[in-house]
């Protein structure tokens, strides 16, 4: 199992919060969101919560439009 940290800009489930980071679990090719989230006014605040050693990935064309980046 691998942990992924996904940063969103104003996601639909938190329409009044500028940035949200949600922890996801990757297991056997399936990505599942968890209930663990951080909220912030800036993306820099959220990046401070990403564990050391994680690598940043830009969003892909397949991602939801609210996704800014993800770390894994």
Q: What is the per-residue pLDDT across 12-50, written as a single tens digit (0 to 9) for each?
A: 999 999 999 999 999 998 999 999 999 999 999 999 999
Q: DSSP letters of 2-66?
A: EEEEEEEES-TTSTT-SEEEEEEEEETTEEEEEEEEEEESSHHHHHTTSPTT--EEE--TTS-TT
Say what the pLDDT of residue 4 is: 96
Predicted TM-score (pTM) of this structure: 0.92
- The DSSP H or E segment spanning 36 is strand 30-40
Per-residue pLDDT, averaged over 3-12, amounts to: 96
């Amino acid at each position: 199992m691998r942990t992924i940290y996904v940063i969103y800009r104003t996601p639909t489930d938190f329409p009044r919060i500028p940035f949200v980071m949600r922890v996801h679990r990757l297991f056997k090719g399936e990505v599942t969101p968890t209930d663990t989230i951080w909220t912030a006014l800036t993306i820099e605040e959220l990046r401070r919560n990403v564990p050391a050693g994680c690598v940043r990935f830009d969003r892909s064309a397949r991602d939801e439009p609210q996704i800014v980046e993800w770390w894994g």
